[in-house]
Structures are given as structure tokens and as C-alpha cells.
């Protein structure tokens, strides 16, 4: 299990980077986009290829559920989920035209696309809370993230310019607390004062299974970390020329997420295990439970405006803290990172 956990941890490094270098290259392929009507199959359904950010798992369950239950098909769509994995970069796939839509793992990705001049926006956010967590050993003295001050943090390089920026700004943490994270659980397990980055639905479970104790887990979103996750990314030209299909995709995905979390998830889980034979039902079950228990999908803005919702206030909060820390130019037009024009009830 630890070996598998290390693979999942490596995923965080690739995703948190936001594809900054690759995004710049992707921008070159997207700037000159002309018209881009999606193709239609022999039944008259609009063909859409949707690239996920990693191998099939519960964190993509709503999309798989929508495919398995026919939510896409009944809205006139022929959707293919293109599974992510090592070496797969969603901005590159969008730039090359290999997919029409892609999954954005955190708010850094669409913001990096804006900074690179790539005409791509987030059009829905199905995770209202980024599942990024900090993990510590059990300790009654640890009640909030603020209590981690002075402890060593095991962080990936990409995390230094991502959520660590927010942690420093909010809690006064300093770079001398950072230790090199090698995507190996051993250093964390060996040091009872160590704090490790992780994903709510993954690493805590791995630690419980392999180390035999329940770690202390702090979900950054619960203490104000403003990043969205599980976003749908769409090139501007595609959204413009396929507005009806895009709205249908988002509405069907919302139905899929609602059904996956509150109904019978078996259809979606079956497709996930088909695409990713390494996935087990036990991992899917615990991940889905954590998504429910922590209102990852239906909390936040979604509780007010519906699944997939995004608000300018959240995006500005994210931009303010990252630009003040020097991650983005203060003059960057952060509003270009997203649009709510295609969400259910709009347009």
C-alpha cells in the first residue's frame, strides 16, 4: 500500500505545479484558435473528450457516474473520459486539440494559463474545497494549523509556490521549516514532530493502513484556503462555439456528482475500476465517504448556487494572497481565469 501511496503522492507534485512551464507552451497552441465546433456522431450526439487529472478514482467519481448512468447521453452528448496519468498534462491536451475539455486540479492551473496568455477558462468547479491537507502524528496539543508553527514540513518543490504561500501568509510559517519531500512515507513516520502534505482522500488512509495509527489531519480549506479543485477547463473558442453542449456537459456532471455521493455509486465505481484496475473498492468507499463528510462537492458556493458554482469573491481571494506573495503579477487580469456563463441556470 505504501508503494501505491507514493505513486499518489507523486501525483500531487505534478498537479500542484499547475503545469507552469508546460502551460506556457500550451498557450502557443491555443492563442490562434479559430472556430472549433465539436464533431457529431452518427446518432447526432455531440462528441466531447474530457481529460482527467490522474488515473480513475473517486475524486473523479461524478464524471464517471454521469457517463455510466447515461446523464451525458440523455442530454445529446457522446462523452469519452480520457484518463490521466504520469506524463499526461491537461493544458497540453487542450492545446493540441486532443481533447475538448479538461480537468483542473487547483486554482493555480487556470491562473497560470492566464499568466501564460492561454485562452482557457475554468467553467465549473466541482470541488468547493481543495482536498489538500497537512498530516501530523497524533498529538493532543495540535488543535489547529497554527499549532504546527516551528515543526518541520515535508513539502514537494511545487508546493513551495502553491499552498505553502498561503500558509506562510496566514500563519507566519517560515521557509526554514521546510524539508525536502521525497514522496516516501518513511521520513514522516520516523519523526513524530514532522508534518507532511497530502490529499484528504488518499494519504491519511494509507498511513492508517500501513502505520497502524490515525494521523491528525488538517484540511486547508476548512481554515480558509481559497482554491477550488476538480474544475472543468474549456478553451474560450470551444466554449463560444459549443455553448449548448458545454452547458449540457456541466449540468450532466452535476447530476453525476449528486448521484455518486448521495445515490448508488456502483455504476461509476465499475467504470473507475475498469479504467484503473489497481483501484480497490475499499479505497473508493473511504474516499467517497470523506468527500461527503467534508462537503467537498456540495459545500461552499455550491450550497448557495448549485454544484459546480464559482464566485468572483473566491477567485479574488485566491489571487490576492498569491499575488501579494509574488506568485502572480499584481496587474494580472485574474477575472480571465474563470466564467460562470455556462453553469446551470445561466445563459
Q: Are strands 77-82 and 46-51 parallel, antiparallel or unpaired?
A: parallel
| Res 6 pLDDT > 50 | no
Place of cell 507534485: 13
Please say whether the beta carbons of 266 and 64 come within 8 A: no
For 178-239, the DSSP string reads EEE--S-SHHHHH-TT-EEEEETTTHHHHHHHHHSS--EEEEGGGGT----EEEEEEEHHHH
- Exposed (0-12), middle (13-18) or buried (19+): which is 311, by Cβ within 10 Å? middle
Give me the phi and psi of 120, to 5 degrees please: -135, 140
Q: What is the CA radius of gyration of the chain?
A: 19
CB atoms under 10 Å from CB of 222, counted, come to 14
List all residues 6 or more positions away from 270 whose beta carbon is below 8 Å from its beta carbon. Answer: 68
Please say whether the beta carbons of 20 and 111 come within 8 A: no
Share of the chain above pLDDT 70, in %: 89
Per-residue pLDDT of 231-273, as tens digits, reads 999 999 999 999 999 999 999 999 999 999 999 999 999 999 9
Per-residue pLDDT of 274-295, as tens digits, reads 999 999 999 999 999 999 999 9
Which grid cell sits at 130?
481543495
In three-state secondary structure terms, 338 is strand
Which contiguous run of DSSP H or E holds residue 331? none
Distances (CA, A) of 304 to 55, 145, 224: 31, 27, 18
Which is nearest to 296 in space by CA: 260, 263, 323? 260
Please say whether the beta carbons of 75 and 248 come within 8 A: yes
List all residues 6 or more positions away from 221 whose beta carbon is below 8 Å from its beta carbon. Answer: 128, 129, 130, 131, 132, 227
Per-residue pLDDT of 37-86, as tens digits, reads 889 999 999 999 999 999 999 999 999 999 999 999 999 999 999 999 88
| Res 30 pLDDT > 90 | no
Which contiguous run of DSSP H or E holds residue 137? none
What pLDDT is stored for residue 29 in this prediction?
Answer: 56
Amino acid at each position: 500500500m505504501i508503494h501505491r501511496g507514493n505513486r499518489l503522492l507523486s501525483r500531487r507534485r505534478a498537479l500542484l505545479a499547475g503545469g507552469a512551464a508546460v502551460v506556457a507552451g500550451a498557450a502557443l497552441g491555443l492563442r490562434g484558435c479559430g472556430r472549433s465546433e465539436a464533431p457529431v456522431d452518427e446518432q447526432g450526439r455531440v462528441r466531447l473528450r474530457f481529460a482527467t487529472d490522474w488515473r480513475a478514482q473517486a475524486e473523479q467519481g461524478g464524471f464517471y457516474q454521469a457517463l455510466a448512468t447515461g446523464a451525458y447521453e440523455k442530454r445529446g452528448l457522446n462523452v469519452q473520459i480520457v484518463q490521466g496519468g504520469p506524463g499526461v498534462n491537461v493544458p497540453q491536451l487542450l492545446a493540441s486539440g486532443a481533447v475538448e475539455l479538461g480537468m483542473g486540479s487547483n486554482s493555480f492551473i487556470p491562473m497560470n494559463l492566464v499568466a501564460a496568455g492561454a485562452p482557457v477558462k475554468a467553467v465549473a468547479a466541482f470541488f468547493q474545497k481543495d482536498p489538500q491537507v497537512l498530516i501530523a502524528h497524533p498529538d493532543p496539543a495540535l488543535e489547529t494549523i497554527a499549532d504546527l508553527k516551528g515543526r518541520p514540513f515535508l513539502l514537494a518543490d511545487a508546493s513551495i509556490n502553491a499552498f505553502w504561500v498561503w500558509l506562510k501568509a496566514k500563519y507566519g510559517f517560515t521557509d526554514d521549516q521546510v524539508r525536502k519531500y521525497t514522496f516516501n512515507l518513511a521520513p514522516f513516520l520516523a519523526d513524530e514532530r514532522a508534518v507532511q502534505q497530502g490529499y484528504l482522500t488518499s494519504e491519511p488512509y494509507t498511513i492508517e493502513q500501513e502505520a497502524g495509527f490515525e494521523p491528525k489531519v488538517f484540511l486547508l480549506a476548512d481554515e480558509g484556503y481559497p482554491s477550488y479543485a476538480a474544475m472543468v477547463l474549456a478553451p474560450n473558442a470551444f466554449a463560444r462555439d459549443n455553448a449548448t453542449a458545454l452547458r449540457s456537459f456541466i449540468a450532466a456532471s452535476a447530476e453525476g456528482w449528486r448521484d455518486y455521493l448521495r445515490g448508488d455509486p456502483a455504476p461509476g465505481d465499475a467504470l473507475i475500476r475498469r479504467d484503473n484496475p489497481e483501484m480497490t473498492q475499499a479505497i473508493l468507499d473511504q474516499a467517497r465517504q470523506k468527500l461527503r463528510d467534508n462537503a467537498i462537492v456540495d459545500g461552499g458556493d455550491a450550497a448557495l448556487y448549485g454544484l459546480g458554482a464559482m464566485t468572483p469573491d473566491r477567485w479574488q481571494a485566491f489571487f490576492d494572497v498569491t499575488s501579494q506573495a509574488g506568485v502572480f503579477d499584481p496587474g494580472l487580469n485574474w477575472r480571465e481565469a474563470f466564467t460562470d456563463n455556462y453553469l446551470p441556470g445561466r445563459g
